Structure 1
Amino acid sequence: MTTAAPHSPRIPRADWDRPPHNRWAFHHIREILPTAEVWRGSGPVSALPRRPFRLDDVRFQAARGELTIRQFLDDSFTDGFIVLKDGAIVFERYMNGMTERSAHLSQSVAKSLTGALIGILSHRGALDPNGLVTDYLPELKATGYDGATLQQILDMSSGVAYDETYTDPFSDVGQTDVASGWKPKPAGDTRAWPRSIWQQILGLKQCNAEHGARFNYRSIETDVLAFVAERVTGQRLPQLISAEIWQKLGCEENSYYTVDAEGYALADGGFNATLRDYARFGLMIAQDGVIDGRQVVPAAWIAETRRGDPDQFDADYRATMPFGAYRNQFWLPDYRGRATNCLGVFGQWIHADPDTGIVIVKLSSWPDFLDDARFVEQEAACAAVKRALVHA
């Protein structure tokens, strides 16, 4: 006697990234979506020595009262949390079924990997950030990207119209979910939807601002950069990230990208890796592009990345980052300092501070795409961790 398969999958295809399903899905993406491997290579793993420091009981003031780091982690849908000081692991915690070998979805943390790759290719002379994107992708002359420079796309200051409303399945970013293979079309909708990310980019015909006039966060900008990198090298993104970044970081594990129907790896949010390997990326950024004596990303590119223009931010962004800026696909939490953030929806975060030698990575599965209160609390927890370690 055979047993029939269940009528519905364990994780609903249209809602895998929504609560409660995302608590499991974010570190089991290979069981949900097609992926392409980013090989770690055959070289040695870069060492992360251990110098344990008790951070659980460190206290800080949050809007909801005084909290400990333990309470913060327990209450903020944490999957993994690690802190490095001067290249050593001082605190590491896995929660919600995640393990040291679990590859976790990065969401928009992935954008910073692409920004770093563009820096590497620029240093080699393979592309010029001040050049027009149509110099590399002439097909975009028929789109809103005509006249935009690579630097403007790196800084998300092109004027191309793209609606990043995550909760609207019919928005541009909702169409990206479909084009990338992450989601099916909304039930019953009969309109033509882009069948790939490249097709969606070619369909972005309108601008709602002059190129370079202001910062406006749009995920598709990162994919434009990735197609430029693929065009000038003749290689696909997973191979480029493997050869140019992942192998040179000395990562412990292979990572992977989700891919669309044409095999394109989703640069804007489809990257997955382990907690420690994300920490290695953050450590390299904090150390001016160097890890284990290897220059992975040019130091000049890292220095330029730390020079964001705060005047590009409007009130919406200043609500959570009063002194924030954005440069080369990285967030600057305070343009007056040198720390950088890599940020992704649902609570993904890498903080790299060269002045304190502290790197913090938090992987999460928040119930909401964005949560200003959680973000502000995370920044307060970050400051408390840094104070505790600097003054230890």
Structure 2
Amino acid sequence: MKHFLLLLTFLLGFSSLKAQTYFPPLTGTTWSTTDPATLGWCQDSITKLYDWLEASDSKAFIVLKDGKIVLEKYFGTFTADSFYVWNSAGKTLTAYAVGIAQHEGFLDINDPTSDYLGTGWTSLTLPQESAITIRHQLTMTTGLDDGVPDFYCTDPACLVYKADPGTRWAYHNGPYTLLDSVIESATGMTLNTWVNQKISSKIGLTGLYIQSGYNNVFVSKARGMARFGLLLSQDGYWNTTPVLPDVTYLNEMRNSSQSLNNSYGYLTWLNGKTSFMIPQSQLIFPGELCPNAPPDMYAAEGKNGQIINVVPSQGLVLVRMGSSMGNSLVGTQYNDTIWQYMNRLACVAGISDQSLETIQISPNPTNGLILISELKGHEIFELKNQQGQSVPFQQIGNEIALKNLQAGVYFLTIRKENHTKTFRVICN
């Protein structure tokens, strides 16, 4: 059903023939646009998307089609000239920078990390430490314990043994952040110098990494995010300029990088896989990461919903900057809701569920309590597991209490009159 709706949504706008990609000039504000009406998108549905984005504390939203801007919206006091943090969406930029360093012969991702950081960068024994490679850092499989009091910490005392490298996937910021030092040691350049020289200057991206505690966080304008998304959509070239002309590395980056979390490449989230894992959990959830998004989508995602989506089959790049979003380290559920609205943009009768479209749930993932927004009264709720069996719950006002549920994926359906809306709920 999902793929049928996607087909209807994009039927008028996207053909199987690949259009020529547009690349904006490296300087200035010129950027060609495409009228959303030519894609069959209705203004009323676009307005509903913008209203929801604003209500969920978005700052900027951009959609590119074959490089040209189709949608661009800024909220509140945020403007096209405002800078904002990428948070963990910057991880994908780091992975790209590592790929360039390998392509230019400064490192090999199969090298031990100790070759670049020296011994003693963890609290492990030397044999344990030397088993960790750059590839393990790129794939979140270092085996270092993410359950330490501060998982952002990069001090040796914070980097302790949990499992052998390559045997456990865990979203762990400390080992990732140390890739910055690997790049600096390998290239002899600072992180900002390397990224600016090898990526930013070639695609017109104005931005830089700033230090925040243990973290190095990339900051740019929203269009800078869109420029990097456009680069990601290509095979290592910006127009005719080579940036990372290593298709082998790029294919590894945007495909399953290990067998533990199928939905994770090199610091990049992947849709369309049979299962996924999420930060701060060791559970494996069946199904796609974003079931309402195109299956070939891959994404850079960060805390509070910093998102770069790339859909190669449709020539789409989607960017969202914003705040709110609760405590999720990546906004995959929020991202999936964006695609619910994207799937309603086409002027096709019957897709939109207007009576329920403003209803949202949080937090998701949840530990047992769900808050439902925008209830109008007289809604009927139904909760089922993946086997389609009804699951008991308790509703008190706009709260749903899930009692004694096993960790896993559930489906909460909200009905009103002849309309329904279903949310995928992750219980951990």
TM-score (norm 2): 0.62
SS of the residue aligned with 1:114?
helix
Q: Is the 8 A contact 1:49 1:89 kept in 2?
A: yes
Match of 2:233 in 1: 286
User: Of 127, 133, 140, which residue of structure 1 is paired with 2:107?
Assistant: 127
1:358 and 2:351 are equivalent in the alignment: no
1:221 and 2:175 are equivalent in the alignment: yes
Give how far 1:108 is off.
0.4
Counterpart CA distance in 2 for 1:360 and 1:237 is 26
Q: Is the 8 A contact 1:256 1:273 kept in 2?
A: yes
Within 5 Å, which residues of 2 pair with 1:1-392? 44=27, 48-53=31-36, 57=43, 68-140=48-120, 142-144=122-124, 145-163=129-147, 171-173=149-151, 176=152, 200-251=154-205, 254-259=206-211, 266-267=215-216, 270-298=217-245, 299-309=247-257, 311-313=259-261, 325-335=263-273, 337-370=295-328, 373-384=333-344
Flag the structure with higher strand content.
2
Question: Larger relative CO (CA 8 A, sep 6+): 1 or 2?
Answer: 1
In structure 2, do the counterparts of structure 1 residues 383 and 293 end up closer, same or farther at CA, with 3 Å as the change threshold?
farther
Structure 1, unaligned runs of 5 or more: 1-41, 61-66, 165-170, 177-196, 314-323
Q: Is the 8 A contact 2:89 2:308 kept in 1?
A: yes
Give how far 1:89 is off.
0.4
CA displacement 1:11-37 (0-9 Å, x = unmatched): xxxxxxxxxxxxxxxxxxxxxxxxxxx
RMSD: 2.9
In structure 2, do the counterparts of structure 1 residues 127 and 373 end up closer, same or farther at CA, with 3 Å as the change threshold?
closer
Counterpart residue identity of residue 340, structure 2: A
Counterpart CA distance in 2 for 1:282 and 1:207 is 35
Q: Is the 8 A contact 2:50 2:73 kept in 1?
A: no
Range with greater deviation from structure 2 (118-127 or 363-372): 363-372
Counterpart CA distance in 2 for 1:238 and 1:387 is 45
Higher Rg of the two aligned structures: 2
Q: Is the 8 A contact 2:32 2:69 kept in 1?
A: yes
Give how far 1:139 is off.
2.8
Identical-pair percentage? 26
Match of 1:182 in 2: none
Counterpart residue identity of residue 172, structure 1: D
Counterpart CA distance in 1 for 2:249 and 2:176 is 17
In structure 2, do the counterparts of structure 1 residues 350 and 383 end up closer, same or farther at CA, with 3 Å as the change threshold?
farther
Counterpart CA distance in 2 for 1:340 and 1:140 is 35
Give how far 1:302 is off.
1.6
Give how far 1:223 is off.
1.2
Counterpart CA distance in 2 for 1:386 and 1:147 is 51
CA displacement 1:218-237 (0-9 Å, x = unmatched): 11222111110000111111
Counterpart CA distance in 2 for 1:58 and 1:113 is 35
Give how far 1:205 is off.
4.1
Q: Is the 8 A contact 1:160 1:204 kept in 2?
A: no
Give how far 1:305 is off.
1.2
Counterpart CA distance in 1 for 2:265 and 2:132 is 16
In structure 2, do the counterparts of structure 1 residues 103 and 387 end up closer, same or farther at CA, with 3 Å as the change threshold?
farther
Structure 2, unaligned runs of 5 or more: 1-24, 275-294, 349-428
Give how far 1:68 is off.
3.4
Match of 1:22 in 2: none
CA displacement 1:219-278 (0-9 Å, x = unmatched): 122211111000011111111111111101123xx32322268xx8x43xx111011111
Counterpart CA distance in 1 for 2:320 and 2:166 is 32
Counterpart CA distance in 2 for 1:360 and 1:307 is 19
Counterpart residue identity of residue 374, structure 1: Y
CA displacement 1:148-195 (0-9 Å, x = unmatched): 11111100011001238xxxxxx313xx4xxxxxxxxxxxxxxxxxxx
Counterpart residue identity of residue 355, structure 1: S
Counterpart residue identity of residue 352, structure 1: V
Counterpart CA distance in 2 for 1:158 and 1:303 is 21
Counterpart residue identity of residue 304, structure 1: E
SS of the residue aligned with 2:155?
helix
Counterpart CA distance in 2 for 1:56 and 1:256 is 37
Match of 1:7 in 2: none
Q: Is the 8 A contact 1:120 1:297 kept in 2?
A: yes
Counterpart CA distance in 2 for 1:292 and 1:243 is 17
Give how far 1:142 is off.
4.8
In structure 2, do the counterparts of structure 1 residues 310 and 271 end up closer, same or farther at CA, with 3 Å as the change threshold?
same
Give how far 1:96 is off.
2.1
TM-score (norm 1): 0.68
Counterpart CA distance in 2 for 1:309 and 1:235 is 27
Give how far 1:76 is off.
1.8
Q: Is the 8 A contact 1:201 1:224 kept in 2?
A: no
Counterpart CA distance in 2 for 1:100 and 1:355 is 28
Q: Is the 8 A contact 1:346 1:366 kept in 2?
A: yes
Match of 1:36 in 2: none
Corresponding residue pairs, total: 294
In structure 2, do the counterparts of structure 1 residues 156 and 287 end up closer, same or farther at CA, with 3 Å as the change threshold?
same
Counterpart residue identity of residue 218, structure 1: H
